Structure 1
Amino acid sequence: MNRPISTYKRVQQWAVFGRLWFLFDAKWQNPFDSAEKIAKYLAGKHKPIYHPLSDVGDHVVVINTKDIALPNKEWRYRMYYHHTGFAGGSSWTSAWELHNKDQTKVLWKAVYKACGGSLLRHNMMERLHLFPDDKIPQELMENISDHMKQLRPVPKALHEYTEEEIKNFPKVFEWPEDYVLN
């Protein structure tokens, strides 16, 4: 007895097979932890139809790559190797120098490494869209259907608090009204 599939179920199935577009905000995020999460979506590992030999991944749009946060002293000590292919053409570049040249390159290299050595890596990297700030072209903005949760919360800067929030903030002790700071 074959019953027809409901319209809702049919749409749900097409959503699994279709390529969705996800938005990820990299502000204050560790690029290496973020890269593992982004690579998971690029490969399609979050879908029930995932198979290592199938190219079923989604598009990921990453904004604010200029505001990534490397742990401890990694800006200075993490080095990237590059070779031009000519004799004596090898060079090492620190993370902060690479970030100053191209503000998307550190995260791009982290995602490239997190995608593994599969032959599908090139196709996955084509579905990665990196932007140094939050300005996304309109044609990409129309495609975005969902967002990925950040791995760690972004703290508020002091100038982002209102006067009321500052006034109501719990204090360890109160200064006397007539006390003057020198």
Structure 2
Amino acid sequence: MSAIRRVQQWATFGRMWYLYDAKWQNPFDSADKIKEYISGTHKPIYHPLNDCGDHVVVINSRHIALPGMEWERRVYFHHTGYPGGASWTLAWELHRKDPTLVVRKAVYSKLDKNLLRRGKMARLHIFADDEVPNSILENLSGQIRQLRAVPKRLDHYTDEEIKSFPRIFDWPKDYVIPN
């Protein structure tokens, strides 16, 4: 076996580090994509009993977007184990307490329910903003593509872009567009 072929084979078994930007992404759709990389199903050597997954670094979890009324309707259940220890927390309350928990719980629920799940979750690194420690940035080797494009805010458009935007009808010459 040549040296190049051997290095390619070693890279297949090595754990890669991927970056995923969760800004304006649905965390439950993103969890499907993140699950592929954490469990290793995107690799040609995947086997259900083999733990060959990669590390995934999720940034901007503070800026996730839930569809419709999900912030008010989605409820997370927790029980302490003691009588009367049941509690229900709405998604917006949980997100306000810790911005990484909604994404973490979404990925955790998507993973297979077996003994490998906690080990796979240890390879998920979630950050509320885009500030990542240098020790993690040094390891990054790839990026996972976002599922939907991040929309541009209206106040981020320049005046030239607003004026050059196509209009359905033409304004009269003496009309002044209010700001």
Pick the TM interval, shorter chain: over 0.9
Q: Which amino acid aligns with 1:116?
A: D
Deviates further, 132-141 or 157-166:
157-166
Listed as ranges, the matches of 1:50-129 within 5 Å are: 50-129=46-125
Once the two structures are superposed, what CA deviation does each residue of 1:51-100 show, in whole Å capped at 9, x if it has no partner? 00000000000000011111110100100000111110100001000000
Structure-2 change in CA distance of 1:77 and 1:12 (3 Å): same
- Give the aligned partner of residue 148 of structure 2: 152
Listed as ranges, the matches of 1:10-21 within 5 Å are: 10-21=6-17
CA distance in 2, matches of 1:11, 1:109: 36
Structure-2 change in CA distance of 1:22 and 1:68 (3 Å): same
Q: Taking structure 2 as the reference length, what is the TM-score of the superposition?
A: 0.95
- Give the aligned partner of residue 172 of structure 2: 176
Q: Which amino acid aligns with 1:176?
A: P
CA distance in 1, matches of 2:26, 2:70: 11
Structure-2 change in CA distance of 1:175 and 1:11 (3 Å): same
CA distance in 2, matches of 1:26, 1:114: 16
CA distance in 1, matches of 2:112, 2:67: 23
CA distance in 1, matches of 2:86, 2:112: 23
CA distance in 2, matches of 1:86, 1:94: 21
Determine helix, strand or coil for the equivalent of 2:108.
Answer: helix
Q: Which amino acid aligns with 1:39?
A: K
CA distance in 1, matches of 2:17, 2:159: 39
Once the two structures are superposed, what CA deviation does each residue of 1:131-159 show, in whole Å capped at 9, x if it has no partner? 00100001001100000000111111123
Q: Identity percentage over the alignment?
A: 61
Structure-2 change in CA distance of 1:169 and 1:8 (3 Å): farther
Q: Taking structure 1 as the reference length, what is the TM-score of the superposition?
A: 0.93
The RMSD of aligned alpha carbons is 1.3
Once the two structures are superposed, what CA deviation does each residue of 1:10-63 show, in whole Å capped at 9, x if it has no partner? 222111100000000001111111001111100000000000000000000000
Q: Which amino acid aligns with 1:108?
A: R
Q: Any gaps of 5 or more consecutive residues in structure 1?
A: none
How far apart are residue 180 of structure 1 and its match?
A: 4.9
